[in-house]
Chain A
Amino acid sequence: MANLERAPRKSFNDLIYDLIFKNYVWQSIFRTGYPNTPRNQMLAVATNVFLHLHPTRIHRTHVKITHTYCLGGLSFFMFLGLTVTGVLLMFYYVPSVERAYQDIQALEANVRFGQLLRNMHRWMAHAMIILVLLHMMRVFYTGAYKPPREFNWVVGVVLFILTLLLSFTGYLLPWDQLAFWAITVGTTMVGSAPVLGDESKFLLLGGFSVGPNALIRFYTLHVIGLPLVISIFLAVHFWRVRRDGGLARPL
């Protein structure tokens, strides 16, 4: 006997849904359907290279805003934003003593949204330092550095230092009076180190005072050297958060 029951007619919404999420191309990219069922939601996290930084499920206290205030995540978000705005800034900037300052002036005056771009980069850099500091305070006051997370705290301290160095190397690039003298003061402090002071200062500046060599060194460190190093430490930091069991919880 033939089955007389017919499939219910699809509504318009279902048609659209199938069109978007059940076609060959979408499923080649995301494998799972739209994350509207618990199964798909877990798969969405587990099968996505960016989201699989997270576990698929976490303890409910960890999504309370007041537990972390999102500080670590926001620090990383600042890093991403600084990378994007930084790459855009590189289009308009040449790190030579002759051109650096006028490039910044031209960026502000002639480039559409150029001033906004530069402002974003600068304020994000300040925000990142503040957020990293606050994140460190959050981790400390919640006792989240305790075993088994000792080493990740050390990685965090290294990340803090790298954040300061990234900001410091970027500070010279506009080649204005503020930049020049701030770096002069900063590197003079390095030069006062007891044993290798003068040598470290020379290594940093490529000379005895802030000049063309210092500019190209700071630029190279700022746009590629330090970002590479901090990316490695970030990877370790995030990996260890997962490996050590996510956020710290009371025993």
Chain B
Amino acid sequence: MVSRAAAAVRTRPRREREQEVLVWPDLVFIEFISALIFSIALMVLSAMVNAPLLNRADPDTTPNPSKAPWYFLNLQELLLHMEPAWAGVIVPTIALVLLAAIPYWDRDQEGQGVWFGTKFAGRLAIFGFTAATLITSLLIIWDGSLHVVWTENIIRGLGLNSDFSWPGGLDWFRNLRGFDTGIPWDSLGFTIGGFTMFADWRAIPLGIPGTTTDPWLLNLNFPSFLSQQIIPVATMVGLPVLFVLFCKALGWIHTRRDIALLIFSAFIGVYLTTTIVGTAFRGQGQDLKPPWDIVVLEE
């Protein structure tokens, strides 16, 4: 029994000498030049742009907005849309584990060593990236209630109704929390026979009385659970599945490599979008603002 790695080396056609070049000078030269270019570019950048240094740290003065370093702003962005445990820890952990697991799932050796090795790789990458970027932006706009502001402004601006405001019946569609606050949960209780179900959706008893002391097991705030956990997680799992089904229907997906290409590209799209929005479009109180309107206040 030969290991897969050994088999890979064995089945490779023997290199022809004329296809090879010497590392010195052909590779060493390229490495040297690229290092030189980067050294010069960074030197010029450093001569022109100073690293920021604000006032001395002061635990009593909180800047608004307070932001993590830019490479964690994608997580801080997620934090606005779901339960902190999901956004800050569980989602990134799962994402990294899935990322690391790609080669153990997509094991076919076909298509390595060339850019976009499968027939529809380019389309899958472009579709995954673009669609994920668009959908993420739309979801952020929706959760930021910008659609409410825009609808109101358009209807007022057109003169159709000068004191138009978002209808109360659509409060649940203002943003994600609308599912929590915009629905009359109190009146949604129902009875099965003589048994009354969930007259209080905000305190569904889960724990068996007397068996546990953990308070979080005792009562479940269902509306909050729905908007902060079920919907975000369902979205993060459901959209990739829809992406795969859609591209399968288009006939673009034939191997696991194709699925990996699609999802990875979508991941890059989400990663970039959330990083950019978190960095440049979040002002005071983490409200959505254009970059030029963002000022940091110290409070």
Interface residues of A (CB under 8 A from B): 35, 38, 41-42, 44-45, 51, 54-63, 65, 67, 70, 73-74, 77-78, 81, 97, 101, 104-105, 108, 115-116, 118-124, 126-127, 129, 137, 140-150, 153-154, 157-158, 161, 164, 167-168, 171, 174-182, 184-186, 188-190, 192-194, 197, 209-210, 244-245, 247-251
A-contacting residues, B232-251, CB 8 Å: none
CA distance A45 to B31 in the complex (A): 14
Question: Interface-forming stretch among B63-71, B157-165, B179-187?
Answer: B63-71
Which B51-106 residues sit within 8 Å CB-CB of chain A?
51-59, 61-63, 66-72, 75-76, 79, 84-85, 87-90, 96, 99-100, 102-104, 106
Distance of A204 from chain B, by nearest CB (Å)? 13
Q: Is the CB of A147 within 8 A of B31?
A: no
Cα separation A108 to B54 with both chains bound (whole Å): 13
Q: Are B46 and A42 in contact (CB under 8 A)?
A: no
The answer on a CB contact under 8 Å between A192 and B26 is: no
A-B CB contact pairs (8 Å), 12 listed: A54-B27, A55-B23, A115-B50, A121-B51, A147-B103, A149-B103, A154-B100, A174-B53, A192-B85, A197-B89, A250-B113, A251-B109
Contact residues of B between 8 and 30, Cβ < 8 Å to A: 8-9, 11-12, 15, 19-28, 30
Q: Which of B34-42, B170-178, B191-199 contacts A (4 or more CB under 8 A)?
A: B34-42
B71 pairs with A177, CB closer than 8 A: no
Give the CA-CA distance A12 to B150 in the complex, in Å: 81
The answer to whether A189 touches B72 (Cβ under 8 A) is: yes
B15, B56, B85: the one contacting A194 at CB < 8 Å is: B85
User: Which of B114-122, B132-140, B141-149, B200-208 contacts the other chain?
Assistant: B114-122
Nearest CB on B from A121, distance (A):
8
**Given A176-B57, A248-B113: A73 in contact with B31 (beta carbons within 8 A):** yes
CB distance from B121 to the nearest CB of A (A): 8
Contact of A123 among B11, B49, B264 (CB under 8 A): B49
Is B214 engaged at the interface, CB distance under 8 Å to the other chain?
no
* A72 nearest CB across to chain B (Å): 11
For the complex, what is the distance from the CA of A141 to the CA of B117, rounded to whole Å?
8
Are B50 and A248 in contact, with the CB atoms below 8 A?
no
Asked whether A54 lies within 8 Å of B50 as measured between CB atoms, the reply is: no
Count, A-B residue pairs, CB within 8 A: 247
Where chain B touches its partner, the secondary structure class is helix
Taking a contact as CB atoms under 8 Å apart, the answer to whether A142 and B113 are in contact is: yes
Residues from chain B with Cβ under 8 Å of A67 in the complex: 115
Bound-state Cα–Cα, A55 to B106, Å: 28
Among A65, A119, A175, chain B packs the most CB atoms within 10 A around the CB of A119
Q: How far is the CA of A61 from the CA of B15 in the complex (A)?
A: 12
Which residue of B87, B107, B112 has the most chain A CB atoms within 10 A of its CB atom? B112
B125 on interface, CB distance cutoff 8 Å? yes
Query: Which of chain A's residues have a CB closer than 8 A to the CB of B84?
Result: 189, 192
* Closest Cβ–Cβ distance, residue B233 to chain A (whole Å): 13
- Select which of B15, B96, B121, B261 is within 8 A of A59 by beta carbon: B15
Known pairs A74-B34, A142-B112; A123 contacts B66 (CB<8 A): no
Contact B21 A60 (CB under 8 A): yes
The reply to whether A182 and B68 contact each other, CB–CB distance below 8 Å, is: yes
Contact at A35–B24, with CB atoms within 8 Å? yes
